[in-house]
């Protein structure tokens, strides 16, 4: 375990990142009427001019300290929606619920079907689908960090609602039920077994399949949410899909590892990207015209937004994303050998002061959304 002095140094080095750029001009419209809203969330939508009837819907959940408009600006989802004619829904956390704007992924009352934030997001989805005549068989959800963990919760509690999900630097559903457990899981400690995680999803609703497909993304140098959480997510969902433990493995762009699990028909059900050397955030390609690098929106030379949209078949074949064949090599999958005791200590965002070690720890918990 790393020392408290190292944690303090990481806290100080992260100060000010969230406010390093002026807030973007929002392309989104506020959604005000979506039912009871037991989680007291805000909501924004983006509907491109070329939206056709029965178009798909993408739900995007921001990370801690972020807003709906900021996450759209960084990820580029509305730019992609303009090009391919799908609608967007951005649930937004409110400060009275969580002062650091984190979705409350670790609180049982907010990740139970019919309750709290999960019920609010489901209500938003219903309202947008009905209001714009969207295709209920093509609803997808994605999120970063706390938004990624809430994405996992939505896929588990409302699996019939979503065709696919994409979790970026997130955690498996049901792995934590308290502040202390959440803190441990983010460090990669005490994660439940694959069988236990799978059972948690099965208990979350009466659904018995088919299950949403899953695209997973994690930086190998993520010091906020340990990469072991992506392996736990694979284990949680591989059993639900009835997939073998073995996967195909690809080298993407010469440096990133992608594993793919396919069903008996050859359809990819789970994919997992390990982005070499990347810390905590959404991977972007700073050299293209989609999205904008910033705090937690990281130029890793690869656009997760484009790849996820392609995995969900939202883009026209041959457009947006085409990893050349010569940049991809396939070989047998290798099991992860990352020791549990090497899980990195979280690097928290913002708020360190000279008030002492206790204050630093308290600020760290608040910044992660684990303390109010």
Nearest 5°: CA angle at 213, between 102 and 125?
Answer: 50
- How many Cβ atoms from other residues are within 10 Å of residue 223's Cβ? 20
Model confidence over 37-93: pLDDT tens digits? 999 999 999 999 999 999 999 999 999 999 999 999 999 999 999 999 999 999 999
Helix residue spans in 17-60 (DSSP H): none
- Predicted confidence pLDDT, tens digits, the chain (372 residues): 443 344 334 434 444 444 445 667 899 999 999 999 999 999 999 999 999 999 999 999 999 999 999 999 999 999 999 999 999 999 999 999 999 999 999 999 999 999 999 999 999 999 999 999 999 999 999 999 999 999 999 999 999 999 999 999 999 999 999 988 998 999 999 999 999 999 999 999 999 999 999 999 999 999 999 999 999 999 999 999 999 999 999 999 999 999 999 999 999 999 999 999 999 999 999 998 899 999 999 999 999 999 999 999 999 776 765 443 333 333 333 333 333 333 332 322 322 333 333 444 445 555 555 555
Structural domain for 345, as ranges: 4-367
Residues identified as active-site: 145
Please give the tally of structural domains in the chain.
1
Give the residue carrying structure tokens 């649930």: 91
For helices 68-75 and 77-84, what crossing angle results, to 10°? Answer: 70
Domain contains 338:
yes
DSSP state of 108: G
Whether 17 maps to a domain, the answer reads: yes
| Predicted local confidence at residue 317, as pLDDT | 72
Within a domain: 372: no
Determine, yes or no, domain membership for 151.
Answer: yes
Strand order in the sheet with 248-252: 29-30, 42-46, 87-92, 57-61, 139-144, 164-168, 213-219, 268-275, 256-262, 248-252, 328-332
Cα dihedral angle (191, 214, 338, 244), rounded to 10 degrees? 90
Task: Give pTM, 2 decimals.
Answer: 0.83
d(CA 165, CA 214): 5
Nearest by Cα to 108 from 16, 198, 203, 1: 203
CATH number for the domain harbouring residue 307: 3.40.50.1820
C-alpha to C-alpha distance for 344 and 170, rounded to whole angstroms: 15
């Amino acid at each position: 375990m790393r020392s408290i002095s190292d944690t303090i140094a990481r806290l100080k080095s992260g100060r000010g990142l969230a406010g390093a750029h002026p807030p973007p001009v929002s392309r989104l419209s506020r959604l005000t009427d979506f039912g009871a809203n037991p989680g007291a969330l805000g909501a924004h939508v983006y509907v491109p001019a070329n939206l056709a009837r029965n178009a798909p819907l993408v739900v995007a959940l921001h990370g801690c300290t972020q807003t709906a408009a900021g996450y759209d600006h960084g990820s580029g989802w509305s730019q992609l929606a303009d090009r391919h004619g799908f609608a967007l829904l951005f649930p937004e956390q409110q400060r009275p619920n969580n002062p650091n704007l984190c979705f409350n992924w670790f609180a049982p009352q907010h990740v139970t079907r019919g309750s709290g934030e999960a019920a609010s997001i489901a209500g938003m989805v219903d309202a947008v689908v009905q209001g714009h005549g969207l295709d209920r068989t093509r609803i997808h959800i994605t999120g970063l960090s706390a938004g990624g963990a809430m994405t996992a919760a939505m896929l588990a509690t409302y699996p019939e609602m979503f065709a696919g999900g994409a979790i970026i630097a997130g955690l498996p559903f049901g792995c934590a039920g308290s502040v202390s457990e959440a803190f441990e899981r983010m460090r990669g400690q005490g994660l439940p077994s694959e069988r236990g995680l799978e059972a948690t999803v099965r208990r979350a609703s009466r659904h018995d399949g088919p299950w949403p497909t899953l695209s997973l993304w994690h930086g190998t140098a993520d010091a906020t949410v340990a990469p072991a959480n992506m392996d736990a997510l694979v284990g949680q969902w591989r059993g639900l899909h009835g997939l073998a433990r073995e996967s195909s493995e690809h080298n993407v762009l010469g440096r990133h590892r992608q594993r793919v699990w396919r069903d008996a028909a050859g359809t990819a059900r789970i994919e997992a990207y390990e982005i070499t050397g990347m810390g905590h955030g959404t991977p972007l390609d700073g050299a293209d015209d989609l999205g904008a690098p910033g705090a937690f929106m990281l130029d890793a030379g690869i656009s997760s937004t484009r790849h996820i949209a392609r995995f969900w078949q939202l883009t026209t074949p041959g457009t947006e994303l085409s990893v050349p064949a010569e940049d991809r090599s396939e070989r047998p999958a290798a099991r992860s050998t990352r020791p549990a005791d090497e899980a990195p200590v979280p690097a928290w965002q913002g708020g360190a002061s000279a008030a002492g070690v206790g204050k630093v720890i308290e600020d760290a918990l608040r910044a992660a959304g684990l303390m109010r």
